Amino acid sequence: MTTQKTIRVHITEHHISVIAGYKLWMGKESDLKLIGTSDHPRKTIRDYSDLNPDVFILDYSYNEEETVMPYISELRQSFPDAGLMCATGYVFPHIFRSLQVAGIDGIITKEDGADGFIQCIRSIAAGGCYYSKIVRKYLLQEDKIFELLSSLTPSEKKVLRQMSTGLPDAEIKKILGIATSTLDNHKTNLFAKIRDHGFEVHSKAELAAWFRAFANDISI
């Protein structure tokens, strides 16, 4: 009979209620063991250097300005054998991308629930990576957005930025110093290119909502 390996988990999260939820989920799994919690990566590095967890569960943000990003490399150095997993309530492609580039082994959102949470822990503990379906979707969206932006002319990018604010056409023409016919041509080309890249955007209101959700943090 094969003995089930115990996965040792540490949680770094500053919301007590979130920690309580994670404990509840983990308590239902016989192979998961919580070995400690802290409310900031700095405390994790300082106070848990003698532990050997298999997986660290990290929040992305620890106050209005500070995120886990500056601590990822130090966590790697301090705990070279541990997997790093980020569970975040921020559903933005640029955040997922920054975590991916930084080398986080697993990324889930707090919308993924218990199943995604447990699956991510086990995948990382087994030496793999795990990005939830939501995370993969947004990363793919960001890839498509970069492809889209690279296909736009400089003038089209200027029009896109102004349209994304929801300004009336009259204001956009005034700001950019262009004629109605020129703006109409740019709009037609923009909507065509946006749809060609897989985004179902058909109106200025839809464009503004789409831009805020997927492209607002991308420089154009």
pLDDT digits (tens, 9 = 90+) for 176-213: 999 999 999 998 998 898 888 887 888 888 888 877 76
Q: How far apart are CA 120 and CA 131, in angstroms?
A: 8
For the whole prediction, is pTM greater than 0.95?
Answer: no
Q: In terms of pLDDT, which residue wins out, 87 or 205?
A: 87
CATH 1.10.10.10 domain residues, the chain? 152-214
Q: How high is the pLDDT of residue 57?
A: 97
Structure tokens at 168: 């009336």
Q: How high is the pLDDT of residue 1?
A: 44
For residue 128, pLDDT beyond 90 = yes
Cα dihedral 217, 12, 65, 72 sign: negative
Query: What share of the chain has pLDDT > 70, as a percent?
Result: 95
CATH 3.40.50.2300 domain residues, the chain? 7-137
The pLDDT mean for the chain works out to 88
Buried b (16+ CB within 10 A) or exposed e, 162-194: bbbeeeeeeebbeebebeeeebeebbebbbebb
Q: Which of 3.10.180.10, 3.30.530.20, 3.90.79.10, 3.40.50.2300 would CATH assign to domain 7-137?
A: 3.40.50.2300
Alpha carbon separation from 148 to 95, 105, 129, 203, 211 (Å, rounded): 20, 28, 28, 17, 12
Q: Which CATH class is domain 152-214?
A: mainly alpha
Which of 121-125, 140-144, 208-212 shows the highest mean pLDDT? Answer: 121-125
In the DSSP assignment, the letter for residue 203 is S
For residue 143, pLDDT beyond 50 = yes
Q: How high is the pLDDT of residue 22?
A: 96
Cα dihedral 124, 122, 139, 63 sign: negative
Alpha carbon separation from 125 to 30, 60, 194 (Å, rounded): 15, 20, 40
Would you place residue 215 in the very low, low, confident or very high pLDDT band (cuts 50, 70, 90)? low
